[in-house]
A and B are shown apart, each in its own frame.
Chain A
Amino acid sequence: MATAHTKTLSRIMNLPSIILLFIWMIVPLGMTIYYSFQRYNLLTPQRRGFNGWFNYEFFITDPAFFEAIGNTLLLVSGVLAITIIGGVLLGILLNQAIVGRGIVRILFISPFFIMPTVSALIWKNMLMNPIYGIFAHIAEFFGADPVDFFAVIPLLSIIIIVAWQWLPFATLILLTAMQSLDQEQQEAADMDGASTLAKFYYITLPHLARAITVVILIETIFLLSIFAEILVTTNGGPGTASTNLTYMVYNRALLQYDIGGASAGGIIAVILANIVAIFLIRAVGKNLEA
């Protein structure tokens, strides 16, 4: 954009898409904010009216609220930890020259293509079922009692399922980053007497910092709103043991028909996501600067 003229022109040309995106964002947000201050339950639609901060108060004082926030953060951090540590290790493995590397890589990526509902159902019915699941069979083979995953460790089970889905994504991004690592740098480190572990710590890991940041940011966005896996496996239970904020909002809106309360919950979720985003950008965002 060399001249003032082209600058103005480009701004005008950009305008339609910017306006469209803005409307796309602001209308649902505005409506949610509006409803969050309304008394509006679909079971008693005639009793509508301004409700003040009551919906917020009601949502926050719900005993499940803080548990849901805790579950949301546990779910996000648990999956992040598994996918990043696992992704780095798998990336190193896949970066080796092995026979059929191309096929192995595609196999690794494939879980990412399976839709969340399907993979959660497969995990629920084929792997983790306490009676005919594969894990139950394995446990019985060794003479142990099968674990009823979704009853005993519901949140951890969901973390495992989601981590399985996101591991390929992390692996792919980290593998690509590893491939761009300069060969001569590693050779220089060899000459400097660095061991394999030292090379990993001082050369590979810093090189991966940016890719890890990208993985953390992108995964966090999606993991804050995990829903399908919970719906098809535990339904947020037992009790509220695996209810996250998204599921709680769903529960309020579509099981209790409380549009006002659900809207308030939605706004709280948006605020929470922004708080997480600010912390994340502070913590890891500097890695993205060139």
Chain B
Amino acid sequence: MGNIVLEKVHKCFGDVEVIPSVDLDIKDGEFVVFVGPSGCGKSTLLRLIAGLEDLTGGKIIIDGVDVSDSTPAKRELAMVFQSYALYPHMTVRKNIAFPLKMAGMPQDEIDKKVMAAAESLNLTDYLERTPGLLSGGQRQRVAIGRAIVRSPSAFLFDEPLSNLDAALRVNMRIEITDLHKELKTTMIYVTHDQVEAMTMADRIVVLQAGDVEQFGTPLDLYNKPVNRFVAGFIGSPKMNFVKGKDADEFDAHEIGFRPEHMSVSTTKGRWKGVVSVAEHLGADTFLHVKTDEVGTLVTRSDGEINVNYGDTVYVSPNTDKIYRFGADGLAL
């Protein structure tokens, strides 16, 4: 079981308010990703759930039990740290066995569990090595192994992939997703990478300045962002925003449209502009078009488009895929 409820969770560091008030209800077995720009309080929120930071106010309830004042160990959560935090002088075997040893489990049972965890993570050949002799991906697996052996009620991941190279990151992303499908345990995952968030999450929590901006499925966030911040944060490249008379036309303070919902033409269109950057990625081409009327717009078109730096193009948004925002930033 791993149902985690936050009620009016509040955290200050001295005079600095990091998290004003957060309410969340994370269901058992859910994969929830906390995402937001750096300094938005996502790691602090995770550490509050883990019990590594004390609450200033509010309550944390795990499976119906108020754990607000419990020590980290009592909460029966497992955490994978950004630096992996492996014990450098212990072998992989001892690292994985450490939480079981601390729990006072008999040795033969520990051995069995460690072997099972090592097999599922392809670590059997490395059990006698120390972490210093492992590659980044292997260390990551050991950290996960140490987390899964004690069958916690939920896993907490604090930006676990940020120290890996791009190819390995994609692999580990899939491995963690598979692990979640296999264990069906609640997972809370902190990242600043929205690709990780979109690909892994059942539901995403978008945070800004310690506030929950939106809590929903990845496609909800993409299709129905509640405000301008979520609209701008989710999606890559970022959504384009336009104010003024173009927005008035749609009866809004500001309108937004995604790069992939725009058309580019060399002959006619809504706004005329000059290509300032052309990023040819092969499958896609991103154009940064400098217009006189509405500033720089980013468009996404397929790879074949034959437009280069300095060309004059016309861009127009796809009118049925326009997001409208009021003066307060909320979606209309």
Contact = CB atoms under 8 A, between A and B. Distances in A.
Among B73, B78, B86, residue most surrounded by chain A Cβ atoms (within 10 Å): B73
Contacts of A206: 87, 89-90
Interface string A180-218: 001011011111111100100011001101000000000
Interface string B41-83: 0000000001110000000000000000001110001110111
Contacts of A203: 87
B102 A190 contact: no
Contacts of B87: 185, 188-189, 202-203, 206
Contacts of B137: none
Contacts of B102: 192-195, 198
Interface string B212-232: 000000000000000000000
B98 interface: yes
A192 B146 contact: yes
The main secondary structure of chain B at its interface with chain A is loop
Given A184-B83, A190-B73, A209 B98 contact: no
Contacts of B183: none
A39 to B, nearest CB: 56
A185 B88 CA distance: 9
Interface in B78-104: 78-79, 81-83, 85-90, 98-99, 102-103
Contacts of B73: 190-194
A185 B89 CA distance: 12
Contacts of A192: 73, 98-99, 102, 146, 150
B114 to A, nearest CB: 14
Nearest to B74: A193
Among A192, A195, A202, A206, residue most surrounded by chain B Cβ atoms (within 10 Å): A192
Contacts, number: 62
Nearest to A192: B99
Interface residues of A, number: 18
A190 B81 contact: no
Interface string B102-132: 1100000000000000000000000000000
A207 B146 CA distance: 20
Contacts of B86: 185, 188
Contacts of A193: 72-73, 99, 102-103
A191 B152 CA distance: 11
A184 B103 contact: no
A187 B85 contact: yes
Among A187, A194, A198, A203, residue most surrounded by chain B Cβ atoms (within 10 Å): A187
Contacts of B83: 182, 184
A187 B78 CA distance: 11
B115 to A, nearest CB: 19
Nearest to B102: A193
B71 A190 contact: yes
A32 B232 CA distance: 82
Contacts of A194: 73, 98, 102
A198 B88 CA distance: 16
Contacts of B85: 182, 184-185, 187-188
Nearest to A183: B85
B155 to A, nearest CB: 11
B106 to A, nearest CB: 16
Contacts of B50: 191
Among B77, B98, B103, residue most surrounded by chain A Cβ atoms (within 10 Å): B98
Q: Which 4 A-B pairs have the closest CB atoms?
A: A193-B73, A192-B99, A188-B85, A184-B85
16 contacts: A185-B85, A185-B86, A188-B81, A188-B85, A189-B87, A189-B98, A190-B52, A190-B73, A191-B52, A191-B73, A191-B99, A192-B73, A192-B98, A194-B98, A195-B102, A207-B89
